[in-house]
Amino acid sequence: MSFTHQQNVDSTEALSPGTDFHIANSAVVGPVNSQSSLQDAKILMVDDEMINLDLLTNYLKAGGYHDLATTTDSTQVLQLVRMRRPDLVLLDLMMPGMDGFNILEQIRSDEELKDIPVIILTASHHREAKLLALDLGVDEFLAKPVDPSELLLRLRNTLTARAAHDQLSNYSARLEQEVQQRTSQLEAARLEAMYCLARAAEFRDDDTGHHVVRVGRYVAIIATALGFDSQRVDLLEQAAQLHDVGKIGIPDSILLKPGKLAESEFDLMKQHCSFGKHIILPLTDNELDGSNRGVHAGGLVGSPIMETAAVIAETHHERWDGTGYPFGFKGEQIPIEGRITAVADVYDALSSPRPYKPAYSEEQCLSILEEGRGSHFDPLVLDAFLANMEEVRAIQREFADAALPVDA
Ligand SMILES: [Fe+2]
């Protein structure tokens, strides 16, 4: 046997010498999708009789096909298919070395080759042979001796079906890519909107916005230590940034008051929890009118992240012993999201400079947290925080605030 090319042989055709393999033209690559490109299809013909291959080549050339390759060596077929990626294989069944059934089975079991159409050419009229080939996934049969008109029609139909299949696959891959792109754009916009909202609330007494970021990070540290999965940890980190969004509803005279708040002022301050919940959560049907339905249409309100943010906004001032606000919930009555944020929020308030106090040292902060063990804080949540002080310090360094003058 000899390795022979007719023309336009590319590098992928460097088969081992001795392969009886012919190529008529290899200029066209890619799926076929019109009458002219149907005829540009790459076709591989396999038969152990050279005379049969010559006949097939003549028939196909007469039908306008020009990118043709042939081989009489069935043992080389799979290697050829992998290299040339034909658009269709015309395959003899009974051949020495490797028979057509075996080749078909291997093509269909290869993830990258399995969609290549195969037309079986056979002189056999045995029903079992046909059933076996059908079972292995053959596309068409042609009886030998081949009728050239039938050959061209079956070839055209098979290639057309393949082109439709390719177009559908490409379309669905493109759609999937577009959906993924839009989804990540929406996700980015959603997170940005959340962060803007959180910053809006903080801006009046912390124009760096670092407080909300640090609280979110501390919440993530605690949630991770408590064994939450990474998806839930991410959600909690984002949601916790909105814990004080209700401060938007508190007058400056109270929010920015340097000294101690009067009881009535503190009562109003406490309302930032329910203000926060109502800013975040969807309005009821009774509250909805034509002007605010767009809020729901946006899909942001009522999502898991916003539900969690509402829970945190409403319960981050509850205390483990039931002396917190707004409900006076006790122990595990307080949602875990609120218990976690309570530790994170208090630690950040203690360790950051405020208009009325300097930043406390870590030792002072930890001592105050310990004092609150079992009274203010859930002991397990506190332990989860304290066990990860290295990470806490890294966040403090990364998102440090400038020192503020202490207001006497
Ligand atoms: Fe708060």
Q: What is the domain-level CATH number for residue 100? A: 3.40.50.2300
Confidence at residue 17, expressed as pLDDT on a 0 to 100 scale: 39
Q: Is residue 320 part of a domain?
A: yes
Domain end position, chosen among 173, 195, 215: 173
Of 89, 39, 45, which is closest to residue 61 (Cα–Cα)? 39
CA 147 / ligand 1 centre spacing (Å)? 85
Q: Is residue 215 part of a domain?
A: yes
CA 188 / ligand 1 centre spacing (Å)? 26
Task: Assess whether 300 and 389 both reside in one domain.
Answer: yes
Q: Is residue 370 part of a domain?
A: yes
Task: Assess whether 342 and 298 both reside in one domain.
Answer: yes
Domain end position, chosen among 173, 193, 218: 173
Task: Assess whether 239 and 169 both reside in one domain.
Answer: no
Q: Is residue 61 part of a domain?
A: yes
CA 298 / ligand 1 centre spacing (Å)? 27
CA 355 / ligand 1 centre spacing (Å)? 16
Task: Assess whether 252 and 308 both reside in one domain.
Answer: yes
| Euclidean distance between CA atoms 289 and 286, whole angstroms | 8
Confidence at residue 341, expressed as pLDDT on a 0 to 100 scale: 98
Of 34, 62, 56, which is closest to residue 43 (Cα–Cα)? 56
Catalytic center residues: 247
Task: Assess whether 380 and 237 both reside in one domain.
Answer: yes
What is the 3-state composition of the chain as percent helix, strand, coil, each rounded to the nearest 5? Answer: 55, 10, 35
Task: Assess whether 234 and 367 both reside in one domain.
Answer: yes
Domain end position, chosen among 155, 173, 191: 173
Read off the tokens for 34. Answer: 């019109």
Question: In this predicted model, what pLDDT tens digit does every residue of 145-154 receive, in sequence order?
Answer: 899 999 999 9
| Euclidean distance between CA atoms 237 and 305, whole angstroms | 10
349, 359 in Cβ contact below 8 A?
Answer: no
Q: Is residue 178 part of a domain?
A: no
Record the pTM. Answer: 0.61
Q: Is residue 350 part of a domain?
A: yes
Query: Which residues line ion ligand 1, judged by CB < 5 Å?
Result: 244
CA 389 / ligand 1 centre spacing (Å)? 23
55, 38 in Cβ contact below 8 A?
Answer: no
Task: Assess whether 208 and 169 both reside in one domain.
Answer: no
CA 161 / ligand 1 centre spacing (Å)? 64
CA 273 / ligand 1 centre spacing (Å)? 7
Confidence at residue 297, expressed as pLDDT on a 0 to 100 scale: 41
Look up tokens 């003899």; give the residue: 92
Confidence at residue 97, expressed as pLDDT on a 0 to 100 scale: 84
Task: Assess whether 96 and 46 both reside in one domain.
Answer: yes
Question: In this predicted model, what pLDDT tens digit does every residue of 152-172 receive, in sequence order?
Answer: 999 999 999 988 988 998 999
| Euclidean distance between CA atoms 182 and 190, whole angstroms | 12
**Residue 385's CATH number:** 1.10.3210.10
Handedness of CA 92, 95, 100, 106 (dihedral sign): negative
Confidence at residue 22, expressed as pLDDT on a 0 to 100 scale: 57
Of 186, 178, 202, which is closest to residue 349 (Cα–Cα)? 202
**Strand, helix or coil for residue 86:** coil
39, 68 in Cβ contact below 8 A?
Answer: no
Task: Assess whether 276 and 129 both reside in one domain.
Answer: no
300, 306 in Cβ contact below 8 A?
Answer: yes
Q: Is residue 3 part of a domain?
A: no
Task: Assess whether 153 and 238 both reside in one domain.
Answer: no
Domain count, the chain: 2
Read off the tokens for 161. Answer: 């079906």
Task: Assess whether 157 and 243 both reside in one domain.
Answer: no
Q: Which domain holds residue 142?
A: 11-173
Confidence at residue 403, expressed as pLDDT on a 0 to 100 scale: 54
**Strand, helix or coil for residue 59:** helix
CA 316 / ligand 1 centre spacing (Å)? 7
Confidence at residue 105, expressed as pLDDT on a 0 to 100 scale: 94
Confidence at residue 259, expressed as pLDDT on a 0 to 100 scale: 80
Residues of the chain with pLDDT under 50: 1-19, 25-33, 290-300, 404-408
CA 133 / ligand 1 centre spacing (Å)? 72
CA 341 / ligand 1 centre spacing (Å)? 10
CA 243 / ligand 1 centre spacing (Å)? 6
Task: Assess whether 140 and 216 both reside in one domain.
Answer: no
205, 252 in Cβ contact below 8 A?
Answer: no
The set of residues, in sequence order, having a beta carbon less than 8 Å from that of 240 and lying 6+ positions away, is: 215, 216, 219, 309, 312, 337, 340, 341, 344
Q: Is residue 125 part of a domain?
A: yes
**Strand, helix or coil for residue 250:** coil
